[in-house]
Chain A
Amino acid sequence: MTTETLPEQRASDSRVGGHLRNYFERVRGGELGALPAVFGLVVLCVIFSVLRPAFLSAINFANLFTQGAAVTVIAMGLVFVLLLGEIDLSAGFASGVCAAVLAVLLTLEGWPWYLAVLAAMLTGVLIGLALGSLVAKLGIPSFVVTLAAFLAFQGVVLLLVKNGTNISIQDGTILAIANNNVPPLLGWAGAVVGVAAYAVIQITQARRRTGRGLVADPMSVIGFRVAALAAVAGVAVYVLNLERSRNAAIVSLKGVPIVVPLIVLLLIVWTFVLRRTAYGRHIYAVGGNAEAARRAGIDVDRIRISAFVICSFMASVGGIIAASRANSVDPNTGGSNVLLFAVGAAVIGGTSLFGGRGRALDAVLGGAVVAVIENGMGLMGYSAGVKFAVTGSVLLLAASVDALSRKRAAAGGRR
């Protein structure tokens, strides 16, 4: 109900200059998005590759992916819970429980891999249902519920693997997930199809919007995004397709690790859910203002429970990957630093601990940062103690950035 018009500004939004200006305005207003994570990633990579040239080797590059995969996947699930302003401290050991279920069924009971995987995932879903119901229906703070579950699941893992023995995994399919690679040509095909599909989606979307007279991203910006994606995917596939084996005559080791397309697939699915479906919209709404969501007729309890289900389900997938990478499951699977690394990954990537802000991509960016720190410091020969301390500091730093950007947004009249 106000009078002044800003037609020039509107028109300029469709040009590159306006687009950039809007972007900088948002950043200054506290919406940092992926900026800190990407910046951190670049800085860390430069530091490590200068100090330890081995960091840049093809074999180490491939290692980064398999090292970070489980944490990244768990972090992707945590994003859903964090979006609601809740926390799941049990996600690490939930992944351990699911991995243990997988190992017991595969190795001790002799189930086929697909049934064992299904059972592990179902375990994750049930865990999420239980946690979510306690939080949403009984109203116990998620911090307390999942702290209790953290302890309990640790016990469950111990019980499942019979007090400390470890269960090895021999099934070829499960082992392939974190140990085998996609054939080089297929890797290239996947990258090309992926980039092309992204370009087509972006362009048709912009076309449709312009056709209806709405402000759309300018083609040059879309071109830039597509080019950036193509560059990242191209370099990654190229390096991963290099021969990594010390002795290529005996065994050839090259290609994109299978976990990479798996993570990309999960990323696409959850990004679609969060950004393009009503359900995703409702998750953001509940995280932003639960009472407003309730008044809009959204079933807030159902949303809460479902977020915990997604989180624990993703933990089960993370557990399966971890089991595959370690070739076994032991009482420490999903334990020690897994949860903190996963929460750290989500927050470092830009997901807010206060709820309402976050993306599936955050988990991948943050997961990459965490993996690079762990890997790089390992190469430099630092002990686990130093690694923990540094990762903890990075998490604190990310949380500070989160809190400060929120404060900044509040100061700018945004709440």
Chain B
Amino acid sequence: MSQGPILELRGINKSFGPVQVLHDVAFSAHAGEVTALVGDNGAGKSTLVKCVGGIHQIDSGEYFFEGRKVQVHGPRDAAELGVEIVYQDLALCDNLDIVQNMFLGRERRSGLVLDEAGMEEMAAKTLEGLSVRTVKSLRQHVSSLSGGQRQTVAIAKAVLWNSKVVILDEPTAALGVAQTAQVLELVRRLADNGLAVVLISHNMNDVFAVSDRIAALYLGRMAAQTKTSEVTHSQVVELITSGRSGELGLGNGNGATS
């Protein structure tokens, strides 16, 4: 892709009290591409994503969107930019039904009243696009869904809005083989439709199957961000486990290549 990244972070620092979780992290995502964000447990992937989504405020650093410097103070700011996130813990309300969850915080209304029929229609269309057909009714409570179905609802919630960036935090963790393949296919399809997709995953096969770029976090530092075609499986594993691999990684400048 010739244009610059649609989403770019520079020098992000984030601490929780005395614990610094992110150190001077740079990260970018490009339209039409899948960027895989990898790293060991506790490396700071989810924290980085929450900073992007406005759930956590960054301590310092710059946030660029479509080349403009922006301030993201809350989830609404991120949503307004066109950034949608599927969180690792899904963040669904068990006591609400599928449609209510998908439109939560952004309900469609006519005047004062909620436009229930309109929302249900849109939700049905989106779920159909994701080829979800097992849910018995869109009006069933999320608490009655299986883990995979919940995951699907969370993903549908993110793609419902005409977003520009979709970030998925371990979306396949709870899924079976067939469902995982479907999510990966969806991830690819979203990118091919021109969205910037960020995929967090621990599965190297998945990462290599769908991603165009790989960003590796190591203990809260960005070890490297490279094109997928330029690295091997074992190099990425090395980046994840030790933060460096030959020329790549920490200790050789700032690590952020290409």
Contacts and interface: CB of A to CB of B under 8 A. Distances in A.
Given A278-B107, A295-B75, A296-B106, A288 B94 contact: yes
Interface string B102-133: 00111101001110010011001000001111
B136 interface: yes
Contacts of A5: 133-134
A291 B113 contact: no
B175 interface: yes
B76 interface: yes
Contact of B143 (A1, A285, A409): A409
Given A13-B137, A292-B91, A414-B141, A2 B117 contact: no
A53 B141 CA distance: 45
Given A3-B133, A29-B144, A276 B113 contact: yes
Interface string B77-99: 00100000001000111111000
Interface in A367-381: none
From A291, A292, A298, name the one whose CB has the most chain B CB atoms within 10 angstroms: A292
A215 B74 contact: no
B148 A1 contact: yes
Interface in A245-296: 276-278, 281-282, 284-285, 287-289, 291-296
B53 interface: yes
Contacts of A414: 94, 141, 143-144
A287 B94 CA distance: 10
B120 A214 contact: yes
Nearest to B93: A288
Contacts of B121: 212-214
Nearest to B92: A292
Interface string B153-196: 00000000000000000000001001100110010000000000
A214 B105 contact: no
Contacts of B182: 1
Interface residues of A, number: 41
Interface string A6-35: 100110010000000000000001000000
Interface residues of B, number: 48
Contacts of B104: 281, 285, 292-293, 296, 298
Main secondary structure of the interface of A (DSSP, over half): loop
Contacts of B105: 282, 285, 293, 296-298
Given A214-B120, A284-B96, A414-B141, A295 B149 contact: no
7 closest residue pairs by CB, A with B: A296-B105, A414-B143, A288-B93, A288-B95, A356-B95, A297-B76, A292-B91
B112 A1 contact: no
Contacts of A287: 95
B245 interface: no
12 contacts: A1-B151, A2-B134, A13-B136, A281-B114, A287-B95, A292-B91, A295-B53, A295-B55, A298-B105, A413-B143, A413-B144, A414-B141
Contacts of B117: 208-209, 212, 214
